[in-house]
Amino acid sequence: MTVPASWTALPIIPAAPGWWGGNTHVYVERTGEGEVVHRLARAHRARVMPFDASADLVGALASAGLGPELVSSEPGHLVTRCLEPGAIVLNHTRIREHGLIGRVLGMHRAVAALDVAVPVLDPVAEVERLLGVLTDLGTTLPYGGDEAARLVLDSRDALTATEAAVPSLGDAAATNLLLLPDGSLQAVGGTLACAVDPAYTAGALLAEYAPYLGSPEELFMDVWGGWDAAAYRRARLFGLVDDVRWAAISRIAAVLADNPGFVASHTGNLRVKHAVATMHDPELESWRVAA
């Protein structure tokens, strides 16, 4: 679509290991009823997710008071009410400075508890599909990623779903959350909304925040609501799956980049480095065998 001149583009905000506005072009428009935010799908969006459930999840977030009001939606175009001035995008430093890690994890638990029907995503099957997209595009994962991808696919049996799928943002990055001036949090993600095994959400959060904002064990217990050794092992493996998934998404986005200012490769490189570090964890084989 042609973007009206009255819309103001918001820049991508790099905040490793994710990006804000990386899957959508983000614009602000002034209307007679206040400012609204337009999110238009980027060129790579259809390649990095097999379905689009963003409007359903964003609407559910709004109804639960966890996100901005959904004004309208159509395929590839979401319009939400603009949050109050002074809201800031979270990153690891801000989470640490404001002591927010418990509330951040609580937000993801609240998303999982939403009463909304969104399609189920099998994370391992999704990694396999994304690897096929990379092949079709004539590219590969960043260096070191192929070995991690093989390990993920070889771990399929250990990651067979044992819990009912729950709603998820599909992305654990800190940049999906805003801190409002009154101290509350709002979720502004949902571009990759899906339902997943709750152990995948836990693993994605561990990949995002451990050990920077807490030990894997501490963060897992906060997400899970207590200690469950089997679920913990599966979550650690799912963290590796999430690393490979985002490395692939980042590479696809880089190949299909729709403006020269969009540098997606940084995210993928970081996620591969994290995956390689996980592969050298001395407990890795015990996760795979016992999960």
Work out the pLDDT band at 59, boundaries 50, 70, 90. very high
- The total of structural domains in the chain comes to 1
16 — pLDDT class (breaks 50, 70, 90): very low
pLDDT band at 15, cuts 50/70/90?
very low
Average pLDDT over residues 83-97: 89
**Nearest alpha carbon to residue 38 among 30, 46, 48:** 30
What is the C-alpha to C-alpha distance for residues 171 and 182, in angstroms, rounded to an integer? 25
Which of the pair, 104 or 189, is modelled with greater confidence? 104
| Six token digits for residue 186 | 């709002």
Mean pLDDT of 61-80: 93
In a domain, 3, yes or no: no
1, part of any domain? no
Say how far apart CA 259 and CA 29 lie, in whole Å.
21
Mean per-residue pLDDT of the chain: 90
The radius of gyration of the chain's CA atoms, rounded to the nearest angstrom, is 18
Distance of CA 267 to the CA centre of its chain: 12
Is residue 38 included in any domain, yes or no? yes
Contact 201, 168 (CB under 8 A): yes
Tell me the mean pLDDT in the region 69-92: 89
Q: What angle do CA 26, 28, 30 make, to 5 degrees?
A: 165
Domain residue limits at 177: 8-290
Given a cut of 50, whether residue 17 has pLDDT beyond it is no
Tell me the longest C-alpha to C-alpha distance in the chain. Answer: 59
Q: Please check whether residue 140 lies inside any domain of the structure.
A: yes
What share of the chain has pLDDT > 90, as a percent? 65
Q: What is the pTM of this model?
A: 0.92
The DSSP bridge pattern shows strands 166-168 and 13-15 to be unpaired
- Tell me whether residue 250 is in a domain: yes
Secondary structure class of 9 (helix, strand, coil): strand
Mean pLDDT of 87-112: 95
In a domain, 2, yes or no: no
CA angle 18, 104, 213 (to 5 degrees): 75
The answer to the question of residue 283 being in a domain is yes
Highest mean pLDDT among 27-41, 75-89, 238-252: 238-252
pLDDT, tens digit (0-9, with 9 covering 90-100), for 161-214: 888 999 999 999 998 999 999 999 999 888 899 999 999 999 999 999 999 999
CATH at 68: 3.90.1200.10
Separation CA 175–CA 245 (nearest Å)? 17
134-152 mean pLDDT: 95
Per-residue pLDDT of 23-39, as tens digits, reads 778 888 888 888 898 98
The answer on pLDDT for 291 being more than 70 is no
Residue located via tokens 């994890």: 105
20, pLDDT greater than 50: no
Give yes or no for residue 11 having a pLDDT over 70: no
Residue 185 belongs to a domain:
yes
- Percent of the chain predicted with pLDDT > 70: 93
pLDDT value at residue 12: 55
Question: Are the C-beta atoms of 244 and 152 separated by less than 8 Å?
Answer: yes
What residues contact 83, with CB distance under 8 A and at least 6 apart? 68, 178, 180, 186, 188
